[in-house]
Amino acid sequence: MLKQPEESILSLLGRVAQKDRRALARGISMIENEAPGYENLLQNIRVQNQTPIIGITGPPGAGKSTLISALVRHLIAEGKTLAVLAIDPSSPFNHGALMGDRVRMSEHFLHDAVFIRSMASRGSLGGLAPRIYEVAELMKTAGFDYILIETVGVGQSEVEIAGLADSTILVMVPEAGDEIQTIKSGIMEIADIFVVNKADREGADLFYNSLAKLAHQYAYKGWEAPVVKTVATYETGLTDLVTALHRHLDLANNSEKKNTLLAEKAMMLIREYRTRNISFEKLQAELKVQQQQSGFNLFKFVAEYNG
């Protein structure tokens, strides 16, 4: 039976719905730190809007943060409101986000139309943070026009973003041309839109053409991922990028992708909640003893462990 929500939880959610920055920041901190009452908070979220989540991923040095800053500036000029979640590597000392609130986005920190938050990856290999799904749902209640999520930037392991975002933008640079044959079988498959950033560099046209050919090969269900050239530092190509984004979001809203995304989120959360009380150190200690016994079988051990 669902526990009756405390008045403070309802009050907090009410303030989040009014885009109260402090309330939203407090709610996110509760979720991240699993503070008392965070489950009650999550179970009383009522999302009344369909705020699209836009994932922005790509290798380190591709200019993701600079591109996001330019994109935010472009969307603000159109009268939009945005939330930005930047997933950063964790500090080895306090497990917080190393880069904090991104320096390259500093001009937007105090803008009324923008909310920026950094989250630590805390060792997650998928390019996201452990509580990103829950935080994203809380942010939806604030009624932003868009939620932008920037992944850590660790290469081909960043596939989790495809299970969270309505549209995924893969940012690359012309220098990646030599690696295109090796990356196409991994992270290439998750992109809905390709961006060739720093397109004023040598080799940009050749890389653009190669990427367009690959995009054609990976076309699916009536959607061929467009390739957009940008130079984020000069805000070149932003209009083309936003146009491509709107086209894909319109397609996603009229397809089964939203239901698929919801199922993927549910699966991820179920998996996490079922294993939350399992200690890796305890598991390791038990296995150290068990594998010394005659007839040890890992699959039998796992079956017994799950009860």
- Domains of the chain with CATH codes: 1-46 (no CATH), 48-263 (3.40.50.300), 279-307 (no CATH)
Cα–Cα distance for residue pair 120/19, rounded to 1 Å: 23
Average pLDDT over residues 245-270: 77
Q: How many CA atoms lie within 13 A of 189 on its CB side?
A: 8
Cα–Cα distance for residue pair 183/201, rounded to 1 Å: 21
Q: How far is CA 240 from CA 111, 189, 244, in A?
A: 24, 21, 6
Distance of CA 171 to the CA centre of its chain: 14
Q: How many Cβ atoms sit within 10 Å of the Cβ of residue 29?
A: 13
> What local confidence, expressed as pLDDT, does residue 55 receive?
92
Residue 285 has pLDDT above 60, yes or no: yes
> What local confidence, expressed as pLDDT, does residue 105 receive?
61
Cα–Cα distance for residue pair 10/27, rounded to 1 Å: 11
Percentage of the chain surpassing pLDDT 70?
Answer: 76
The end-to-end CA distance of the chain, in Å, is 24
- What's the chain's length in residues? 307
CB-based contact 241:228 (threshold 8 Å): yes
- Look at residues 108, 110, 107, 84 and name the one whose alpha carbon lies nearest to residue 97: 84
CB-based contact 42:134 (threshold 8 Å): yes
DSSP conformation class of 96: S
Indicate the SS3 state at residue 69: helix
Q: What does the pLDDT look like over 152-210, one tens digit per residue?
A: 765 544 567 777 888 999 999 998 766 665 565 556 677 899 999 999 999 999 999 98
Cα–Cα distance for residue pair 153/103, rounded to 1 Å: 16
Residue 1 has pLDDT above 50, yes or no: no
At 86, is the pLDDT very low, low, confident or very high (cuts 50, 70, 90)? confident
Tokens for 31, please give them: 């979720």
> What local confidence, expressed as pLDDT, does residue 257 receive?
64
Q: How far is CA 172 from CA 12, 83, 92, 149, 181, in A?
A: 40, 23, 28, 16, 14
Residue 16 has pLDDT above 90, yes or no: yes
Q: How far is CA 140 from CA 23, 49, 146, 181, 255, in A?
A: 14, 7, 9, 38, 20
> What local confidence, expressed as pLDDT, does residue 90 receive?
42
Q: How far is CA 283 from CA 157, 268, 289, 295, in A?
A: 25, 21, 10, 19
Q: What does the pLDDT look like over 114-154, one tens digit per residue?
A: 999 888 765 444 445 568 888 999 999 999 999 999 887 65
> What local confidence, expressed as pLDDT, does residue 101 receive?
39
Taking the whole predicted model, whether its pTM rises above 0.85 is answered as no
Average pLDDT, the chain: 81
CA Rg value for the chain? 21
Tokens for 200, please give them: 């004023």
> What local confidence, expressed as pLDDT, does residue 48 receive?
67
Q: How far is CA 62 from CA 125, 126, 166, in A?
A: 19, 18, 22
